[in-house]
Structure 1
Amino acid sequence: MLGLGSVAKKVFGTPNDRKVKATRPIVDAINALEPEYEALSDDALKEKTQSLKARAEGGESLDDLLVEAFANCREAAKRALGLRAFDVQLMGGIFLHQGNISEMKTGEGKTLVATFPAYLNALTGRGVHIVTVNDYLAKRDSEWMSKVYDALGITCGVVYPQQPDAEKRDAYACDVTYATNNELGFDYLRDNMKSELKDMYQRDHYFAIVDEVDSILIDEARTPLIISGPAQDRSELYKTIDTVIPHLQDEHFSLDEKTRNVTYTDEGNEFLEGHLHAAGILPEEQTLYDPESTTIVHHVNQGLRAHKLFTKDKDYIVRDGEVVLIDEFTGRMMAGRRLSDGLHQAIEAKEGVNIQPENVTLAQVTFQNYFRLYDKLAGMTGTALTEAEEFQEIYGLGVVEVPTNKPIAREDEHDAVYRTAGEKYQAIVEAIRKAHEKGQPVLVGTTSIEKSEQLSDLLKKADLPHNVLNARQHEQEAQIVADAGKTGAITIATNMAGRGTDIQLGGNVDMKVMQALAENPEADPEEVRARIAAETADEKEKVKEAGGLFVLATERHESRRIDNQLRGRSGRQGDPGRSSFFLSLEDDLMRIFGSERLENVLQKLGMKEGEAIVHPWVNKSLEKAQAKVEGRNFDIRKQLLKFDDVMNDQRKVIFAQRREIMEAEDLGEIAQDMRHQVIDDLVDQYIPPKTYADQWDGEGLYVAVLEKVGIDMPVIAWTEEDGVDDEVIRERLYTASDEFMAEKASKFGPENMRMIEKQILLQTIDAKWREHLLTLEHLRSVVGFRGYAQRDPLNEYKNEAFQLFESMLDSLREDVTQKLAQIRPLTEEEQQAMLAQMQQQRKQVEAEAQATPPQGEAQAEAAAPGFVEADPSTWGNPGRNDACPCGSGKKFKHCHGQLV
């Protein structure tokens, strides 16, 4: 019997159906214009762009221009790329323009879809950002789609790490800019560390289209982007503590895998104290509970986490003597990304590699708060519906499922559950063998590098040829994915999210053509393409007969979305295919989150050795477990965001203040307001309101005014005059300080004074903001304990953060006033030297920002003495990870080390 909801859906259609239906008249109108636009010349398409721009400037809304803009863009794409957008692609573009997430299955052409709303919104002249998950895709998509934009007469650029300044500024000035989420976020932070408006990269945050939106706005949103500078070196402490951790027994700590949390027990604390006393880290008379032990407790906690929560080849790999983190969702290496709070150093100590110094935060932002800066946001992905609530609540984004161009012909089989991992892997190898023998390509999904290599060993023993795609084979990624659809191909992949390259049945024609031309550059490209296209078409038919791509997953992920992404690799554009999940009761998800109910179900159904249970009940139970985990992860992210929102409000105030200072021609008024406020605070402190004259501290006020404002006034005598109150003293101090600074400005000259005021203001704001960030980090780490006193940690954090911000602003005013009071007119030479030094300091801070991960290269230096580029014998003997002796600032392996 159908429920009420099902009946209503049958009668009225789902909300998604109604949204899709509403776009049909718009798509019909675009199609009706096709003959008219086909008749236009190439120049006429560009002229059309200019007339649409003029109409947008004249006040016409983009919605009014949509039909003509999409028709123009479709025609340009048809001519430039030979691709005519399907109706469903136009629909996807309409939803993006409306500020939604378009959920489109793998292989439906999302890259082309983005050009439609990007072109329409670029008509405003404000710039559109198209965001991708990695630099390879940003460059590939911008090169590929720039042909369409060129045909329309609009500019297109790409932003990538370590890009020359002028080139990056030009890219941001384009109508459409492709970039990764990391680079956009870092450039935003770097911009807000600049001292001149002309040096800033980003001009506006108008409209962003985020590709693989679930990966960027949800999976990566847990880690903030941080620009940092080096702090003191504590590597010896990490090494010493690391020698203690391996001696811990199970009773010394408690591990909670559900929350990924590990803590010491009372026995563990006693054991640690004994070892730390013996190692000389903890003084004999001191315990771990003493306030002086805070730093050591922090380090031993991080050491425990490094050993018990982080696993090599799953959470990170060791490459060229460095610990490189692995993204658990995409399986990619996150080069240059480091864990904070000394955790990365603890892992480096565990692995015995060189320990890099900890960093001090100079600026930070979360992806949630960065992307909420945009006036309009949209996204594309193959899997977003399971997180629709989070997208709506945090970003105000609706999710619309766009129909596929051709019906999906893939068969999704029920999960097969085995008792043990050993039985599961035997069944997996057997299933792969059967598919391989009939020529069916197989894509095997694993959840970690360790498991992919374990399965690879089993396939080698079974004499089954295969490719392995994980963080270690990052460079060959596109090639391995392009070959994954060939007859009988077996590909083991660690997480397939956002790979950006389609698995085409029979193989990828473009890749094969590029390979053939690389081997024989003399060949005629057209002939090569025609031959390979014919060969691939034959192979595609064979693969279709064999059943299309078989996606075999070896485990369920915590998130249903990641499972759906893997499944979606098969059955693109109406191709046949099948997907199957092989599980065991020993899998992490089943072990940690599988409910008792699931075990009861399996017992009732009966399990024998080597046999699998395949039943819809099992699927339902697993999906419920996954939904629980997703809900918990959402709550964690929501809580993180609430805390970050407090800092975000303060960050906006500081960044807006910096921009105001950079834009101002004359900062005299801002400096005067600050000075007067400092005088007000000093008068209130030493001559409290509503007090008698004999309670005033005239001497204290005199000393404070001399120190903070730099003026030597007879304040003590004033406080003893008859008829003088605090207001009179205030006014006298205002006047005296204004005259003092005016005289100073006349000696410096107005131009120099303006420059000095600007530099002092910006430097002081930056220094204070850095200190404030550190204080907030410390507050954040301890505020959770307030919950034990029945106080809400978030409210406590909000109140204290606000008080800290106010006191930071007070000390900022004092510092700026004091510094301006202390500067004195210098000789011409001294003035130039001082200004040069100030600018050098600013450049140094900006250089630190530029050297921030994801690259983390050192800044350029002078070449080593005697270095001759043409003579390797003069290069010395640098290590692979040492700075190159040429002085480029790059590592040797990335510079002249490549030539050796």
Structure 2
Amino acid sequence: MIRDRVRRGLQRPGTADLGHHRRPVRAAGEAEERFRRLTDAELADAARSSAPAMTGRRSGEARTEFCAAARESVRRTCGVRLFDEQLYGVLGLLDGLVVQMATGEGKTLCGAVAAAGFALQDRHVHVLSVNDYLARRDRTWTAPLTDLWGVSGDWIEQSHPAERRRSAYATSVVFGSATEIGFDVLRDRLVRDVADRVLPRPDVAIIDEVDSVLIDQARVPLVLAGSATGTAFDRALTDLVTTLRLGTDVRTDAEQRNVELTDRGVNRVEAALGGIDLYTEEHAPTLAAVHVALHAEFLLSRDVDYIVRDRAVELVDPTRGRVAMRQRWPDGIQAAVEAKEGLAASATGEVLDQTTVGGLVERYGTVAGMTGTAVAVAEELREFHALEVAVVAPHRPCVRDDLPDRFSDTGAQRRDAVVARILQVHEGGRPVLVGTPDVAASEDLAAALRGHGVDVAVLNARNDGDEAAVVARAGEPGRVTVSTQMAGRGTDIRLGGVDGTGPAHEQVVADGGLHVLGYGRHTSSRLDDQLRGRAGRQGDPGSSEFFVALDDDVLTRFGDGRPRAADAERASAPVSAHDPQAGLVVDRAQRVAQADELQVHRTTWNYHHLLDQQRDRLLEHREQVLTTALAADDLAERYPGQHAALVAAHGADAVTRAARLIRLHHLDRRWSEHLAVVAELREGIHLRGLSRGMTGLSPLDEFHQDAMHALRTLTTDVDRDTGDAFAALDPDGPLEPDAVVPEPSTTWTYLATDTPYGSDAERALSGLVRVVTGRDGGRGPGWSAARIVLGLA
């Protein structure tokens, strides 16, 4: 307690205080019997009268009334009683905090009660989740509560048409995935008539699994694309790079972020392409395409980074091991991977608009959230989103037994050790949940277990649609579930089965509960903690342990060498062993990886933040154009004769509408082109570090400078294009919308991957610099070619 007070006094992240809620929560308990005697109507009245008063001078009394009304209302409608800890969570959310509550403590229900509380304050609330399934489930489950209080609500999902979305957003509490709401924001930004919008003005966001949404997804661009003709990827380059050998023709860096040709590789590629010199201006595009093909071949792995399903490439979310719905790489990388897999090229297009989940959340006036692992990212939540974290103690103490890590020298030894351990636990009748890093590992382990006669339920990107059903059964006696990374987050694992009651429950409890086994450590300890948290729900028994191979990625990429204990004496050991020294090395590698990820977040946030600021400036102008006669007034002043002739022929209203459409069309057209320019700029900006002495600016500063110059050029171009189009209108011709501007192109939405220092295309091209500088001494013809390829010349 003293340590917590000191940390709060120092304003350390994760130390927001909920102590001032103790009195109203305690008083709500004392009033519980009184509220049980109220009718449904009286309960609703109590909630409706107390919620608005929670921000006033009598807020303490109002909080007591609201908590007591919420507890009894939830008991009647959802069949559960809110614990005091859940009431702390509700009040923390209403304070605009991120609330950390352990797995199984009822975070989702807290979010629904807080959302209804905001709605009773006449606020409009969006409850953001990680996927469509959870949005639909949570709305359906909590609808009786909001119905009792007279609060309207709904949910949205990917399949809903515009009218369905519009009606949902008109309610007070809307459940939806962060990406779906983000895509609606993008579509609304490009409407040509106010009536076509679906979203109201953003007000309150409550984010379920806030670390997943604001940390893992925050920097992933949400993209609205339009139809466009693209250049097909040269599949001959795919065939060529498959003949190259890693180590002799190609090398990669330790972090597996960049790939480059060796001198021998350069000679082989140039010979295969007819004896050309890749480092001339003429062949610079070919050099760039070669590096994109190398990136697809050597840095992206099937069943790790993506799967192939229904003759299409589907990306895998690295933090969850599930398909990242509608996500794709930038067109060059996407096409190269499709060529690598022998698949037809998917549709290409131009980016019409984009945002990030982080940028989406910044639109809301009030943001709150809940998760089981917020403290680990409290610094980032404060730095990027000005959010503070409060920790709510569990209702019952956690009695899970977290066993020491067990180590093997190789992945093959680790697999044998894991199989042996699962067989041991399985023989005792306990359920086992295994978290693996990727699809390939999950299927390899499942095959090994089946070879020993174990019936295994496998959950990975190939069958992620069954996730909730598979995970809900993971607590059954003797059940073995092998899942990629984060299994069924948002779905409870109840001991004994779905209901968590009866003889099966008692048997599993007596046997020791769920055993969670981690198949290697993740680069983030937060994700390891999430996996551990699947066991020990609400005081249930359980245990967890991790099996680590010393050739795992987290050690080879971020470690500083093999642990001293892993020496010749035990190099041939066939089973894993406890090793404190190895544990220290793994912990340090994770800290290095987490620091690297934090720097990645800072870097990408800086780039996206500038773009969001630019977009906000244009959107302010676009809103004026959309809702007023600004465009017509401006053109009347600039072209009075043309304006008068058009008004005489078609009427003032028709001319105002035509002027508006023209201005909107050219604003949107130039913004799309601006995004392409900025993307090219960002892809090559870090090459500026090689010539920093010439400018004295960092790559980020140069990016800001050049991006702002591009924006000023954009506004000038829009003014010119609008004027030219207006002046070209024929007073005797038609003035219908389709005759004034082209019809909007067919659009679709997707998520683009993002990377530490730009797009994946830049990663593919960044290796080019080392080849160029190594071959030409730093500033030869290859240097000029590289600058041309990356738009720096």
TM-score, normalised to structure 1, is 0.79
Contact 1:342-1:358 within 8 A present in 2 as well: no
Matches of 1:18 and 1:575 in 2, distance apart?
A: 28
Deviation per CA, 1:390-437: give whole Å up to 9, x if none: 111111112222111101010001101122223222221121111111
| 1:519 aligned residue | none
Give the direction of change, closer, same or farther, for the CA distance of 1:671–1:98 in structure 2 (3 Å limit).
Answer: farther
| 1:470 aligned residue | 460
| 1:794 aligned residue | 700
Question: What residue ranges of structure 1 are gaps of 5+ in the alignment?
Answer: 279-283, 510-532, 676-736, 856-900
| Cα distance, 1:606 vs structure 2 | 6.0
| 2:617 aligned residue | 653
**2:704 counterpart of 1:807:** no
| 1:778 aligned residue | 680
* Superposition CA RMSD, Å: 2.7
Matches of 2:214 and 2:496 in 1, distance apart?
A: 34
| 1:583 aligned residue | 548
| 2:99 aligned residue | 102
| 1:137 aligned residue | 134
| Cα distance, 1:796 vs structure 2 | 0.9
Give the direction of change, closer, same or farther, for the CA distance of 1:789–1:761 in structure 2 (3 Å limit).
Answer: same
Task: Within 5 Å, give how 1:240-251 maps onto structure 2.
Answer: 240-249=236-245, 250-251=247-248
| 2:26 aligned residue | 28
Contact 1:548-1:576 within 8 A present in 2 as well: yes
Contact 1:607-1:613 within 8 A present in 2 as well: no
Matches of 1:305 and 1:642 in 2, distance apart?
A: 25
Give the direction of change, closer, same or farther, for the CA distance of 1:60–1:183 in structure 2 (3 Å limit).
Answer: farther
Letter of the structure 1 residue corresponding to residue 398 of structure 2: I
Give the direction of change, closer, same or farther, for the CA distance of 1:414–1:646 in structure 2 (3 Å limit).
Answer: same
Deviation per CA, 1:330-378: give whole Å up to 9, x if none: 1111232111141011000000011124321110111111111111211
Task: Within 5 Å, give how 1:229-240 maps onto structure 2.
Answer: 229-235=226-232, 237-240=233-236
**2:652 counterpart of 1:750:** yes
Matches of 1:456 and 1:370 in 2, distance apart?
A: 40
Contact 1:761-1:816 within 8 A present in 2 as well: yes
Classify the secondary structure of the residue corresponding to 1:364: strand
Letter of the structure 2 residue corresponding to residue 852 of structure 1: T
Matches of 1:7 and 1:368 in 2, distance apart?
A: 31
Contact 2:359-2:609 within 8 A present in 1 as well: yes
Classify the secondary structure of the residue corresponding to 1:397: coil
Choose 81-90 or 21-30, whichever is displaced more: 21-30
| 2:440 aligned residue | 450
Matches of 1:12 and 1:772 in 2, distance apart?
A: 44
Matches of 2:459 and 2:677 in 1, distance apart?
A: 43
| 2:270 aligned residue | 273
Matches of 2:609 and 2:690 in 1, distance apart?
A: 24
Contact 1:215-1:497 within 8 A present in 2 as well: no
Choose 426-435 or 451-460, whichever is displaced more: 426-435
Matches of 2:565 and 2:108 in 1, distance apart?
A: 44
Classify the secondary structure of the residue corresponding to 1:289: coil
Contact 1:62-1:121 within 8 A present in 2 as well: no
Deviation per CA, 1:493-529: give whole Å up to 9, x if none: 11125532111110002xxxxxxxxxxxxxxxxxxxx
Higher RCO by CA contacts (8 Å cutoff, separation 6 or greater): 2
Deviation per CA, 1:69-104: give whole Å up to 9, x if none: 333222221111111111111111222222222111
Task: Within 5 Å, give how 1:252-267 maps onto structure 2.
Answer: 252-267=249-264
| 2:578 aligned residue | 614
Matches of 2:60 and 2:154 in 1, distance apart?
A: 25
Matches of 1:291 and 1:8 in 2, distance apart?
A: 62
Deviation per CA, 1:616-654: give whole Å up to 9, x if none: 443333222101101101101210111112211110011
Matches of 2:465 and 2:303 in 1, distance apart?
A: 17
Contact 1:227-1:362 within 8 A present in 2 as well: yes
| 2:781 aligned residue | none
Classify the secondary structure of the residue corresponding to 2:724: helix
Matches of 1:581 and 1:463 in 2, distance apart?
A: 23
Percentage of identical aligned residues: 32
| 1:515 aligned residue | none
Deviation per CA, 1:743-802: give whole Å up to 9, x if none: 432332111111111111111111111111111111111221111112311111111111
Contact 1:483-1:507 within 8 A present in 2 as well: yes
Higher helix share: 1
| Cα distance, 1:310 vs structure 2 | 0.8
Matches of 1:64 and 1:343 in 2, distance apart?
A: 59
Choose the corresponding residue for 1:668, options 592, 610, 632: 632
| 1:895 aligned residue | none
How many residues are aligned here? Answer: 746
Contact 1:497-1:565 within 8 A present in 2 as well: no
Choose the corresponding residue for 2:65, options 48, 64, 68: 68
| Cα distance, 1:297 vs structure 2 | 2.5
Give the direction of change, closer, same or farther, for the CA distance of 1:345–1:62 in structure 2 (3 Å limit).
Answer: farther
Question: What residue ranges of structure 2 are gaps of 5+ in the alignment?
Answer: 753-793
**2:312 counterpart of 1:312:** no
Letter of the structure 2 residue corresponding to residue 264 of structure 1: L
Letter of the structure 2 residue corresponding to residue 22 of structure 1: H
Classify the secondary structure of the residue corresponding to 2:389: strand
Give the direction of change, closer, same or farther, for the CA distance of 1:121–1:618 in structure 2 (3 Å limit).
Answer: same
Classify the secondary structure of the residue corresponding to 1:776: helix
**2:727 counterpart of 1:821:** yes
| Cα distance, 1:491 vs structure 2 | 0.7
| 2:750 aligned residue | 853
Matches of 1:127 and 1:641 in 2, distance apart?
A: 27
Deviation per CA, 1:419-459: give whole Å up to 9, x if none: 22232222211211111111111111111110111111111
Matches of 2:100 and 2:65 in 1, distance apart?
A: 24
Contact 1:325-1:333 within 8 A present in 2 as well: yes
TM-score, normalised to structure 2, is 0.89
| Cα distance, 1:294 vs structure 2 | 3.7
| 1:517 aligned residue | none
| 2:110 aligned residue | 113
Letter of the structure 2 residue corresponding to residue 239 of structure 1: R
Higher radius of gyration, 1 or 2: 1
Give the direction of change, closer, same or farther, for the CA distance of 1:126–1:11 in structure 2 (3 Å limit).
Answer: closer
Matches of 2:12 and 2:459 in 1, distance apart?
A: 39
